């Protein structure tokens, strides 16, 4: 049994200045969330949703998010949430990585990131640690911090989205990283942000038998419309019915945007107009070309980026999207008829999610045929959104219970720990 389960210490208290905190009443608990963020917005937005939910449930809680996202400063966080940004890394076309801004070797950037992560953990002394998706972090950078944290009484949780990847790619990837061994050694729980009835992301992995006992399927993470509007100015088109076209971060959304625009350039364009949100990571030259085409079409308009996309989505009549995890949570939460156009390379994550969601009747899906994106097929698919069911018309028990389950598990663990501390004090 790991030390985090018993509340005892396997490291000497105060070793290298690293020791658990004395105030363990749960009212002022601390949570550390690690999000490697090498690409896109998905990991950051998921971590932000969880952080905001935890401080909303227990106002005395403090959450620090460790992230490599270059745009984390553009987002607003709840009272009690802050972040530490580690130097960014970016994936290159050949699949390798490099430092995003620093003129240093990748190994040096990883070493710097790892040192910042470990020092943050040592100083912050969290009660709960949530690691997003990668048990070892990017290139193993979080393992030294996990080694330190294991003996402090902190509960260490791996949080994974509903779909990781197809087994043929996921299994060798985990073997290469030694992820299963790290999961077995350091992690007390695994939270799957989805439902077993929809997909089991870890089923194909050769995990130890007791790992299954640590897995909780939370349901998807419900999103809400921010109470305060953002500063983004929306096109006049949004005052009437419109379709929202979104690709999340935008770094891999060129094909969807091109296909949607071409539908409105066809001889029989969709009846309802569309607003395109490019995302912060789209190539500038590509965006410039899209804007030239959009400017010539009276049924199209666009904005660059919106950190409060939920506001615009709530106004939309329907949504056309790639189908990443966060967008899927948003369209379910805001109950929008949605057309998913999933990415099929280099990963099948979005495609697997879209297939299962369409099977349940939550969304419709459209994929290109042999690399050909027929404008008329897209136009007709957009037109059919007007008659498509809303997600709420499909009954899936526990579908959007994710944040509630996370809050409950956190509170229950804090209460059990406080009770143990009282018992030990009485002895």
Q: Does the pLDDT at position 17 exceed 90?
A: no
Q: Identify which of 240, 211, 241 has the alpha carbon closest to the alpha carbon of residue 135.
A: 211
Q: Identify which of 166, 201, 170, 174 has the alpha carbon closest to the alpha carbon of residue 351.
A: 166
Q: Does the pLDDT at position 249 exceed 70?
A: yes
Give pLDDT tens digits for 118-148.
999 999 999 999 999 999 999 999 999 999 9
Distance CA 367, CA 344 (A): 9
Query: pTM of the predicted model, to two decimals?
Result: 0.90
DSSP 154-176: -EEEEEEES----HHHHHHHHHH
Per-residue model confidence (pLDDT) at position 420: 82
Contact 249, 41 (CB under 8 A): yes
Distance CA 88, CA 67 (A): 8
Per-residue model confidence (pLDDT) at position 248: 83
Give pLDDT tens digits for 21-47.
545 556 789 999 999 876 667 788 899
Distance CA 195, CA 298 (A): 42
Confidence of residue 12 (pLDDT cuts 50, 70, 90): very low
Q: Which long-range contacts (CB under 8 A, 24 or more apart) does 13-20 make?
A: 16/122, 17/122, 18/122, 18/125, 18/148, 18/152, 19/125, 19/152, 20/125, 20/152, 20/153, 20/154
Q: What is residue 369's DSSP assignment?
A: B
Based on its alpha-carbon atoms, the radius of gyration of the chain, rounded to whole angstroms, reads 22
Checking DSSP bridges between strand 89-91 and strand 97-99, what pairing results, if any? Answer: antiparallel
412 burial type by CB count under 10 A (0-12 exposed, 13-18 middle, 19+ buried): exposed
Domains of the chain: 3-222+400-426 (3.40.50.2000), 236-393 (3.40.50.2000)
Give pLDDT tens digits for 137-191.
999 999 999 999 998 999 999 999 999 999 999 999 999 999 999 999 999 999 9
């Amino acid at each position: 049994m790991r030390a985090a389960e018993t509340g005892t210490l396997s490291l000497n208290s105060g070793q290298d200045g690293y020791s658990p905190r004395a105030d363990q009443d749960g009212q002022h608990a601390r949570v550390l969330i690690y999000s490697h963020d090498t690409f896109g917005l998905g990991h950051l937005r998921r971590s932000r949703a969880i952080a905001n939910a935890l401080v909303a449930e227990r106002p005395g809680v403090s959450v620090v998010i460790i992230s490599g996202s270059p745009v984390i400063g553009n987002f607003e966080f709840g009272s009690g949430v802050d972040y530490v940004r580690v130097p960014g890394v970016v994936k290159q076309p050949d699949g390798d990585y490099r430092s995003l801004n620093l003129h240093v070797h990748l190994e040096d950037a990883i070493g710097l990131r790892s040192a910042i992560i470990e020092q943050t953990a040592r100083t912050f002394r969290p009660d709960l640690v949530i690691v997003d998706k990668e048990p070892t972090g990017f290139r193993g950078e979080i393992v030294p911090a996990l080694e330190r944290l294991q003996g402090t009484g902190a509960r260490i949780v791996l949080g994974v989205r509903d779909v990781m990847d197809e087994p043929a790619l996921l299994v060798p990837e985990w073997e290469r990283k030694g992820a299963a061994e790290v999961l077995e050694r350091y992690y007390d729980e695994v939270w799957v942000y989805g439902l077993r009835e929809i997909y089991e992301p870890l089923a194909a992995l050769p995990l130890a038998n007791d790992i299954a006992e640590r897995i909780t399927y939370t349901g998807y993470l419900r999103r809400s419309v921010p109470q305060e509007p953002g500063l983004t100015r929306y096109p006049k088109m949004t005052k009437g019915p419109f379709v929202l076209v979104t690709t999340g971060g935008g770094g891999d959304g060129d094909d969807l945007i091109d296909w949607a625009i071409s539908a409105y350039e066809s001889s029989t364009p969709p009846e309802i107009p569309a607003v395109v949100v490019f995302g912060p990571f789209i190539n500038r030259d590509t965006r410039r070309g899209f804007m030239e085409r959009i400017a010539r079409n009276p049924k199209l308009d666009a904005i660059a980026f919106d950190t409060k996309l939920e506001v615009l989505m709530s106004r939309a009549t329907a949504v056309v999207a790639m189908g990443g995890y966060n967008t899927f949570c948003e369209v379910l939460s805001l109950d929008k008829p949605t057309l998913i156009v999933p990415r099929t390379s280099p990963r099948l994550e979005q495609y697997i999610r879209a297939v299962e969601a369409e099977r349940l009747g939550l969304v419709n899906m459209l994929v290109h045929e042999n690399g050909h994106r027929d404008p008329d097929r897209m136009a007709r698919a957009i037109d059919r959104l007007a008659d498509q069911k809303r997600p709420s018309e499909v009954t899936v028990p526990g579908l959007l219970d994710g944040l509630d389950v996370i809050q409950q598990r956190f509170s229950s663990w804090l209460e059990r720990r406080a009770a143990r501390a009282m018992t030990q004090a009485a002895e």
